[in-house]
Chains A and B, each alone.
Chain A
Amino acid sequence: MMKFGWMIFFLVGSAAYSQQSGGTITGVITSSDDASPLVGATVIIQNTTLGTSSDANGKFVLKNIPEGKYDVVASMVGFHRKVVERVEVKSNEETSLLIQLVLSPIQTDVVVVTSNKREQILEEVPVSMSIVNAQLLESRSTIAVDDALRYVPGVNVTQSQVNIRGSTGYSRGVGSRVLLLIDGLPLLAGDTGEPIFESVPVFQIDRIEVVKGAGSALYGTSALGGVINVLTKEVPEHPETRWRLYSKVYDAPPYERWKWSDKLRALNAQYISHSERIGDVSFILAGSRLFDDSYREADWTRRYNGYGKIKYDMSPFLSLAVSSNVLWQHRGDYIWWKDLKNALRPADSQLNFSVTSLRINSSVLFKHFVNEKFTYEVKAIHYHGNWREDSLNVTLANESTSDVVSMEVQANYSLDELNIMTMGVAVNSDNVSSDIFGTHGGYGGAVYVQDELQLSKRLMATLGARLDYQQVASLPSNQQINPKLGLRYQADDQTSFRASVGRGFRAPSIAELFVSTNVTTSTVAIVPSPELKAEHSWSFEIGGTENFDENAVWDVALFQSDFSDLIEAGVEFDSTRNSPVIRFRNVTQARIQGCESNIRTVFFDQLLSLDLNYTYTWPYDVNKRSVLRFRPRHVASVNTVVSYKEYTFGADMRYISRIDAIDDDLVRLAPIIDGKLRVPIYIADVRASGLFHEFGFPLKINLHVNNLFRYSYVELIGNLAPLRSFVLSVEGVF
């Protein structure tokens, strides 16, 4: 990591840079509806690091801008984005702007960065994408990233494992066919290869972008089914202290038979963050604490989280940001229930187990806007993970430490307005020292290039490929070439079509390759599988978007993914041990076909908004001629919000069809009593929130009732999902 740090500073030092005493852009942002000033609108100068937000009077100031002509972009949730082109700035002079934003009941011109590794409007992207913005996270008082993804079309969450369009299923935390990124950098555990969502500072999220379909042509391994990119907040211009008090009370179980505790079960969490800018340096410091009693026995959690980010704007065109997140967590090791009659108690063998983990991710991002045409960035992340399983009764040797370092240099070059190149070089290393995975190391490198071509006024094509090289321990090396092609056709102002094809891959994790244990959840040993190959996929998609005036948008997509060499844990007979063993194998050839529909509408002059999402997937195991495990065929949700002045009322409803197939081997061998039991899922959550100004600062109070109808269901074998709970969340900003 130190080496990468020096490299960054070398680049900073060598970058052509001279401090200039430039001009100033000032302005006011108002609503075109009633000319009222807009508070908190974002203003950025394109191709620079300069940006700010409007104050309580809608005013903004941007200083020290070198002479020249710039495009100024203003945006705000609920309004169309506006670009003021070629604003002239002169030294020691002030340029004033009056920017009126037009109301957009359903915002479609959102800026995204994940699809093509550069900022662009969502409407220009040739693949299916969904955005979870900060407003949505706040309105649901989100305290877990995986919970925030439950309402994203095409995404299904099994326990904490995220599944995009049927790609992942559930593998009990080993390997992921969805790549988790934080600010564009990979965040998968070095040993198990799984996303640890607790490692994401949830109170600092600006938005989450979800790209559906194979993304390995830009992102490499694990982006087999899609990419989830968590983007953290930028530091605002003015000092800001935000805090949130969150309290959840679990309702009593719906059946007396399930009652196991007389105490009130609750989850309490506190979050605080302070951000400030001092000259060219800005920073965020944040901390949180979460204590969860849980609704289940031996499922408690104690979690502390610290986050810091510091950004140095060396010039309007150069910035360096360093951030770090530290997570410490101690939790009960609840794996599955005792039986259906004791659905909230763990199996007796799990009662006295706990897991302690420490995870630290630190990243560096250096960004340089060389000129209007050329931008490059250097970024690196170090992800340290350590977890240890403990027991009150027996001495366990079950600890694992991993360190992953990823570094990338990426450049974007506009040959002209019709031709944009994105290219980069990435390297990574992974070291694991573990009682059950052994001591192993690996490294890899990749180069990628992509060209976005405006073929005609209406047709845009994206063509790219990435070459990956991976070496794990002394195993044979692994090379991959993953191409992609995307097309976007804008039929008219209201209708667009898209089509894409891409190849994805996932290299097996160190856990899958080397896990070796005789002490498992059953009497069956797990044995190493060093012969495992990488998984592959080809994803195809066609889709279209139709804007119906300003009041409705319908997006629909048909997709197909063909997976080969999927890795699955299976039971086989080991003749040397003369007993069955569990081993990871490349066994499955799968085809997943489906369709996705998302309708967003507003009614009654924006008083009521309604989202209707439906995803159908047919996940078929070509080898076994059966349905793939842990994939629902139908997922539907209805999200409705009523907004009146500063008050909001919302209801979210979800339907997930009964899972066709589960891991019968696990149920049989563990054994998990009543483990095969599962039902369709119907969940309704309701919420109300109000923004109050009577206390001298904005205070937001949220009330939620989750699982309103006390519906009892399992997402995962032998795991009863959360029962009804009541949430009070209070948030303030100074």
Chain B
Amino acid sequence: MLDGILLGLDTAFSAQAIVFLVGGCLAGTLIGMLPGLGPMTAIALMIPIASTLEPATGIIMMAAVYYGAIFGGSTSSILINAPGVASTVASSFDGYPLSQQGHAGKALAIAAGASFCGGIIGAILLMLGAPVLAQASLLFQSSDYFALMVLGLVSVAAFAGNGGLIKALLMTTIGLMLSTVGTSQAQGVERFTLGSIDLIDGISFLLLVMATFALAEALLAVLRTPASGLQIVEQSKRKSLGSMRITKQEVRDISPTVARSSVLGFIIGLLPGAGATVASFLAYASEQRMAPRKQSPAFGEGAPRGLAAPEAANNAAATGSFVPLLTLGIPGSGTTAILLGALIAYGIQPGPMLFINEPAVFWAVIVSMWLGNVVLLVLNLPLIPYIARILMVPGRLLLPLIMFFSIIGVYLVSFNTFDIQLMVLFAVAAVGLRLLNFPMAPMILGFILGGLMEENLGRALLIYDNNWSFLWTRPLTFGILLLAAVALFVPLLRTLVNRKKGSDQ
């Protein structure tokens, strides 16, 4: 292993590689920061440049762009509630309230720190056990993925916000329903496409999230503030925007969260059928459950732990997703699929033999993960006070920019004008729902997990000839479902016990 690390260091420390590593991190961060533009667009934009480089350097650069874009993506989530990628949606739940309260700098610093730790912990785990972990990730069958998605959905109560559980459940149902639009996988029939060819492929996640978060947020900002003083953050709360001060107590609070979320994120990231989004939601939900009841601020109202958990988890998961990609050639997400395409274009075939056939490439990627995370932290920490001041840009300039970039971001993926119309429709509906205190997060959760849940359940039922017995005869499935039941009922029991205690006193 030491030889490998030295070989990787040797490759990654050439002057050229360092230039492209730093350049990739910068470019990725900048692209990722724009609402609507995520790692997928960032990598696709960089492929023409990367293809002129040597394989190891090119891959280091693209990996840097990937980490940079995930890193930058949380910035737009936190500052303007416009997650550019699915995996940073959960970061907006507490990150956005924090920056609304005038703590944008602090929120960005927490995100940077948690991402850094998640990335580094992920890279260490990857280095220690990639081949073994790849084997382990293959133990997961469709029925187990189904159970995992159930576990994720059970956590919906964590995302209720201030609208109450009933509204959260209603929104989850809407998300589940939206996920059924398009061609069903198991039967190959069109569902709810209204005869339109534009709906045959279903509704894209990016579209839904940009419409209900970014666009709706910008519209709401216009509705809420009088035209004269159009502001994103109130004047009185602007003083502390740039400050990154985190108290010792907060660091002490966050550290265990980061450690747990990193390991959880990495494990979920290993599974080709799950990925960074599921990881960030699960980490958020499990931390919310573990949090002391009377903690202030509560989850959803700007809790530092609520921001640190998804940030650490999504970065660790992004690292974890390199395991099936490099050792099996199986991409777990759209972004890793583009990375795989780029690797193949270099003539490098990922697979169990990559480690032996192309050690320089394999170790260069791992070393670039460490360097990339360090470079990102060093690049971004000094910039945070300036980035946070984006919120001081007058609303009349910032809001049109947010709308412009969210629409462009969606268009650049599909190149279909119908998507823009659909987006506006969803945004208007979302504004109405949000004015009535319906939370958007449960809908996103239902949409992402619902699609995956249905797909995996359908597959498991096909395999088991429509016999539901796999739910209890397959130990892994049963175990995860048991965990979901515990997650569902323990908070209920706790509430009951607390009530009893209250009445005893």
- A and B: real partners? no
Q: Which residues of B contact A (CB under 8 A)?
A: none
Q: Which residues of A contact B (CB under 8 A)?
A: none
